[in-house]
């Protein structure tokens, strides 16, 4: 599972390095029209499968290789897992050369570019377990009315708190924030010396939670209209700007950290906004830091957060799509996803695994609770360019006018969102 941070990792936090527009223009030589979705037109052969992943570390690599080997033994189909060093670049090169992997990790923010140039096989409607996936995840991977690929796992953003600092400030569970005012009050009490009350990356992939809590979003729920320049979004950025000005909120870079988890570990943050990937990072890098996870407070419009997910993309030119589909169904089964969760921490993308996951991950339940109200990121081709520019402007929010920023983002979004 990959961390969605500003540290160059796969996902929205890595948007600065990748754009969907560039994917649309890559020289694949494929048809510009998406493949039709039909079980009868799936390719079949005796050729082995190649599966390309972007791994978060040894634990994820081993878990995926073991799972694929188990399927291979049962199916009789040879399969090899390749760990990419630069997943997007290697995928683009594979498509351009006409020799892409059969299956691969594919994040929702770059799917449209590959879909538009005909690189992907939209197989989602053929999945036997299609009805088991969380509806919001299916929506993340539905483009031009086609469900392209099976969500392999997902994460949401919630509030992560240093419990020692929390107690030292005289706070108890009764003080866990449920409103913006309470969050601001808690952050003020937790701010002391070099420690800021709440620290997060200065990017849409974090500030977007406040936009959602205010009732705003970048693109309408039906995906047809750009809605960046709204009163709701202005309210959210005004709130964050006020706390940044007060010195109780801070960006990670301003406290000498690359992301919120590092700030929490270095004790320059008492709270941060992160996803469930933080558990592995804290265990590996800051094992002595005690922390707890709580749901983010509600804003003027209620609860809100952002959701990140990756799917199992399938190549339109794979010579063995029937076997690839069978492997995807195996990898996304409840049992296998629970095994992945135990091995390296992701939340299962199927609802049938929720109860068992909760029983084994009680401290992390707030992350799963976010599935009921989380927003996905825009998936239009070119949207990542817009968000990259948005991130650049958010970096100077403390000295900028939120309305001016949103007006600029609105103009840019309107050029890529389908009317």
Q: Percentage of the chain surpassing pLDDT 70? A: 90
pLDDT-derived band at 198, boundaries 50, 70, 90: very high
Tokens in use for 4? 């969605």
- In this structure, the chain runs to a length of 419
Task: Give the chain's domains with CATH numbers.
Answer: 12-156+308-375 (3.40.190.10), 158-306+380-414 (3.40.190.10)
Tell me what pLDDT residue 11 has: 35
What gap in Å lies between CA 364 and CA 366, rounded to an integer?
6
Tell me what pLDDT residue 38 has: 52
pLDDT in tens, 240-261: 999 999 999 999 999 999 999 9
More confident residue, 3 or 249: 249
Least confidently predicted of 170-179, 280-289, 328-337: 280-289
What gap in Å lies between CA 5 and CA 417, rounded to an integer?
25
What gap in Å lies between CA 334 and CA 253, rounded to an integer?
39
More confident residue, 377 or 249: 249
pLDDT-derived band at 40, boundaries 50, 70, 90: low
What gap in Å lies between CA 409 and CA 226, rounded to an integer?
9
Output the CA–CA distances (angstroms, integers) from residue 346 to 2, 55, 62, 310, in the order listed.
9, 12, 14, 11
Q: Residue 308 in contact with residue 10, Cβ under 8 Å?
A: no
């Amino acid at each position: 599972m990959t961390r969605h941070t500003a540290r160059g990792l796969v996902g929205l936090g890595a948007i600065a390095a990748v754009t969907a527009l560039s994917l649309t223009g890559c020289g694949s030589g494929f048809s510009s029209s998406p493949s039709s979705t039909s079980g009868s037109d799936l390719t079949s052969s005796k050729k082995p499968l190649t599966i390309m992943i972007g791994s978060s570390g040894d634990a994820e690599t081993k878990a995926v290789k073991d799972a694929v080997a188990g399927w291979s033994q049962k199916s009789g189909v040879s399969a090899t897992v390749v760990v990419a060093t630069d997943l997007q670049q290697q995928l683009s090169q594979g498509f351009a050369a006409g020799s892409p992997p059969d299956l691969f990790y594919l994040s929702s923010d770059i799917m449209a570019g590959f879909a538009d140039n005909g690189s992907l096989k939209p197989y989602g409607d053929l999945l036997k377990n299609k009805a088991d996936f969380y509806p919001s995840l299916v929506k993340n991977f539905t483009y031009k009315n086609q469900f392209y690929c099976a969500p392999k796992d997902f994460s949401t953003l919630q509030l992560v708190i240093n419990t020692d600092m929390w107690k030292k400030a005289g706070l108890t569970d009764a003080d866990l924030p449920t409103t913006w005012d309470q969050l601001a009050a808690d952050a003020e009490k937790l701010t002391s010396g070099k420690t800021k009350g709440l620290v997060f990356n200065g990017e849409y992939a974090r500030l977007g939670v406040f936009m959602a809590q205010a009732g705003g979003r970048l693109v309408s729920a039906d995906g047809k209209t750009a809605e960046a320049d709204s009163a709701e979004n202005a309210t959210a950025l005004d709130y964050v700007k006020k706390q940044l000005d007060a010195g109780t909120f801070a960006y990670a870079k301003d406290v000498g950290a690359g992301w919120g988890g590092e700030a929490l570990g270095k004790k320059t943050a008492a709270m941060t906004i992160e996803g469930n990937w933080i558990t592995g990072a804290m265990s590996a890098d800051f094992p002595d830091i005690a922390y707890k996870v709580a749901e983010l407070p509600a804003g003027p419009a209620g609860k809100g957060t952002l959701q990140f997910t990756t799917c199992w993309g399938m190549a339109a030119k794979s010579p063995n799509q029937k076997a690839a589909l069978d492997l995807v169904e195996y990898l996304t089964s409840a049992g296998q996803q629970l095994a992945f969760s135990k091995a390296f921490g992701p939340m299962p993308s199927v609802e049938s695994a929720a109860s068992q996951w909760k029983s084994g991950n009680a401290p992390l339940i707030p992350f799963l609770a976010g599935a009921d109200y989380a927003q996905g990121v825009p998936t239009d081709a070119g949207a990542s360019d817009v968000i990259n520019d948005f991130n650049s402007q958010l970096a100077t929010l403390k000295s900028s006018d939120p309305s001016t920023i949103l007006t600029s983002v609105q103009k840019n979004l309107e050029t890529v969102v389908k009317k």
